[in-house]
Amino acid sequence: MKKSGLVGFIVFIFLLSACSQGQSQQSNPNDLSWDEIKQQADGTTVNIHMWGGDEGINQYMDEWVAPRLKEQYNITLERVPMDTQNILQKLQSEKQAGKKDGTIDIVWVNGENFKNAKENGLLYGPFRDQLPNFNDYYDQDSLAFQYDFGTPTEGYEAPWGKVQFVFQYDSNKISNPPKSFDELQSWINENPGKFTYPNPDDFSGNAFLRQLLYATVDDPKEIIEEPFSNEYATKKAEPMWEYLRTIKPDLWRNGEHYPASLTELDRLYSQGDVWMTMGYNEARAEHLIEQGVFPESTRSFVMEPGSLGNTHFLAIPFNSSNKSGAMAAINFLLSPDAQYKKLEPTYWGDNTPISVDKLPEEQQKKFESLDRGETVLSTERLENSFLPEADSGYVEWIKENWKDEIIRNQ
Amino acid sequence: MRLSETNKAWLLLLPAFLFLLLPLYGLLSALWSSLTVNGAFSLSVYQQLMERDAFWGSLFYSLRIAIIATLLSLGFGLVFTRTFTHYLNKTSGKLAAWIPMLFPHFVWGYLVLLLFQQSGFISYMAFQIGIIESREAFPILTNDKNGFGMIITYMGKEIPFVILMLLPIYAQQNSQYHDLVRTLGGNRWHRFKDAEWPWVYPVLLETGVILFSFIFSAYEIPYLLGATFPEMISILTYDWFYAGDWSERPLAFAAMIFTSVIIGIIAWIGFSLMNRKRWLLTKGSR
């Protein structure tokens, strides 16, 4: 009996290791024409792993995209909600374990996550330039697609959307929102306890500081165009730390505690504890009002010298077992129809990276006449204030230094 | 073939070992990752870790919070069980005491947040009744530096657990011991010390080790209710682990190995104390 237990144990171990075997049968889509890729994708299932924290986005994928993808390409789309960091972690573990037949076909990435994934060889590619919709409707030379937070994309990801960083305020409580960071400073001084920003470990809190960094140097170009180095950042960031130290005593809770996430800041805003919130999506207030989280009187604003914007992308993991299906699905997500629906406030309200002037006239009109909602600033206002992201090195650098400069030893 | 007693014991442990394979693998690979730099054995990660003030700060902070929360839970749990043994023996009493165990820690944490934060329910009531002049005057009890919010949350969740562990002892205790102590002229304290403590003590120790290990390294409650600074070790480790360029990952592994070792030491001390006690008990002397 003892022996059989041992045998069972060994069998169990073999079973465990057997899971990691198996070969991918598909040929590399790099050598195939688009028609062959479409053929290969026909009747398959594509697993997209993406951040699932926004109901609007989830509904867009499940209710609008999935049925049409089935209809047009005969592809079944399975959406798995997961934080991007965890997706990359999973891929990294699979790579270490030598697992060739992965379960993830598409990931939604940008910025430092993309940099990590690309540098650690977690992505398949280049594939972007094989997508007909990308070639037809997108500006091939746009710097916004060539670089992702300073990392060259080199065709390893395809642009899916773009967002801009905006602030939200309650128009019942504030009649004239600040127009610059200087005005914000005096506003905070006059209204102590009514403003705070998320901890820079949080994505949005970090973006707030990057935006402030742009505002406290003489010209944002100094940050955008210079390559990142610790010395340069230390030198340039001093006025930013100074600014933060100045406003600190007048922040919510005297600047001793900061919301750990944007959700927490939104909660404070919805309870009226603070009067402003912010976020990396110019249309976010629309569905937050609809869900009853934000007061109806919420409006958004941007400040001088501009509003941070970035493009977000779709990529394919190195071990996806359905690369052709993934490419077909991404091509569909980049199509004018899918982009238009994504732009509408109904589901998501996410801005499109598509070049509207490359579209057929009828669709151009459709895009141009779309009303994105009352809380969203005009396209013109957004475009005029657009500032691209600098090197993703700043994200990490700010995370590392903020606590030392602002919280500890103060 | 007849199995000897020892063999039987090993066989019975087999499922537990199978189950432990996964965490054990995780622990070993963390140890491995923290001890190798570019494929070669090196202690440099640990050296780096020792030099970080942030690490020591949050290690001692976590120790403090975990010890306070554990002792308070044990203390309140013990007093509660002793006082209400009679009611707790009824189903309704048990239900009332154990309801908090139905909720996950995260839910309980949110409840504490909604009750105790400055704009929460208690401050609202205090303001309405007129105890405080404005809601800002309400003391900061969540996300605070002293960890009040975290400790309260853990107490709410762990006291029922302590009751669960202690109740069988009190339900079955032999009242003759009490009578004996009383006959010999012992007061209340003597009755507790001689007629209850010897049975309660090992269970308290065991429960204490479980609670300490959990509170010391748990992530969700510190994330929800902890202050920006000082931070619990789990938060620091998580930030290191997910730092953008993954360069601080070895540090995260090393810090977790460090906490595992501390938990290991405390568990070892606890169990050796307990075994001695048990051994003395079976010998009939204390």
The CATH number that applies at residue A147 is: 3.40.190.10
Pick B228's closest partner by Cβ from A193, A258, A273: A258
A22: left (phi over 0), alpha (psi -120 to 50) or beta: left
- Determine the Cα–Cα distance for residues A269 and A171; give it in Å rounded to an integer: 13
A296 in any annotated domain: yes
Answer yes or no: do A138 and A172 share one domain.
no
Residue A377 φ/ψ, nearest 5 degrees: -65, 160
Rounded to an integer, the average pLDDT of A259-280 is 92
CA-wise closest residue to A375 among A320, A304, A303, A295: A295
Domain that holds residue A76: 35-161+311-375
A279 in any annotated domain: yes
Answer yes or no: do A264 and A281 share one domain.
yes
A400 in any annotated domain: yes
Answer yes or no: do A143 and A197 share one domain.
no
Nearest C-alpha in B relative to A410: B229
Nearest C-alpha in A relative to B245: A116
Q: What residue segments make up the domains of chain B, in order of their start? A: 51-283
Answer yes or no: do A55 and A191 share one domain.
no
Answer yes or no: do A284 and A318 share one domain.
no
One DSSP character per residue, B7-40 reads: HHHHHHHHHHHHHHHHHHHHHHHHHHHHHEETTE
pLDDT the model gives residue A91: 94
Chain A interface includes B15 (CB < 8 A)? no
Give A112 to chain B, closest Cα distance, Å.
6
Q: Do B228 and A5 touch (CB under 8 A)?
A: no
CA-wise closest residue to A115 among A77, A80, A85, A75: A85
pLDDT digits 0-9 by tens, B84-112: 988 888 888 888 888 888 899 999 999 99
A29 in any annotated domain: no
Q: ipTM for the complex? A: 0.71
Please state whether beta strands A157-164 and A307-317 pair in parallel, antiparallel, or not at all (unpaired): antiparallel
Question: Cβ neighbours of residue A229 under 8 Å, at least 6 residues apart?
Answer: A393
Answer yes or no: do A65 and A156 share one domain.
yes
**Lookup: tokens for A144:** 């916004």
pTM, full prediction:
0.77
Q: Which CATH number fits domain B51-283: 2.40.37.10, 3.10.580.10, 1.10.3720.10, 3.40.50.2300?
A: 1.10.3720.10
- Determine the Cα–Cα distance for residues A316 and A108; give it in Å rounded to an integer: 9
Exposure of B2 by Cβ count < 10 A (0-12 exposed, 13-18 middle, 19+ buried)?
exposed
* Structural domains of chain A, count: 2
pLDDT the model gives residue A21: 40
Could you tell me the CA-to-CA distances from B3 to A4, A5, A51, B13, B83 in Å, in that order?
A: 14, 13, 54, 14, 47
Chain A interface includes B228 (CB < 8 A)? yes
Could you tell me the CA-to-CA distances from B268 to B142, B200, B271, B275 in Å, in that order?
A: 34, 19, 5, 10
Answer yes or no: do A223 and A189 share one domain.
yes
Answer yes or no: do A176 and A296 share one domain.
yes
A318 in any annotated domain: yes
Q: Do A407 and B239 touch (CB under 8 A)?
A: no
Answer yes or no: do A270 and A361 share one domain.
no
Q: List residues in chain A touching B: CB distance below 8 A.
A: 1-2, 5, 9, 12, 85, 112, 115-116, 120, 193, 199, 201, 253, 256-258, 260, 268, 271-273, 392, 395-396, 399-400, 403, 407-408
Set of chain A residues whose Cβ sits within 8 Å of the Cβ of B33: none
pLDDT surpassing 50 at residue B70? yes
Set of chain B residues whose Cβ sits within 8 Å of the Cβ of A400: 243
CA-wise closest residue to B248 among B34, B9, B16: B34
pLDDT surpassing 90 at residue B273? no
A140 in any annotated domain: yes
- Determine the Cα–Cα distance for residues B169 and A289; give it in Å rounded to an integer: 55
Answer yes or no: do A278 and A402 share one domain.
yes
Q: How confident is the model at residue A7 (pLDDT cuts 50, 70, 90)?
A: low
Chain A interface includes B83 (CB < 8 A)? no
Answer yes or no: do A206 and A245 share one domain.
yes
* Secondary structure element (H or E) that encloses residue A273, with its range: none
Answer yes or no: do A155 and A249 share one domain.
no
Q: How confident is the model at residue A410 (pLDDT cuts 50, 70, 90)?
A: low
pLDDT digits 0-9 by tens, A302-354: 998 889 998 999 999 999 999 999 999 999 999 999 999 999 988 888 999 99
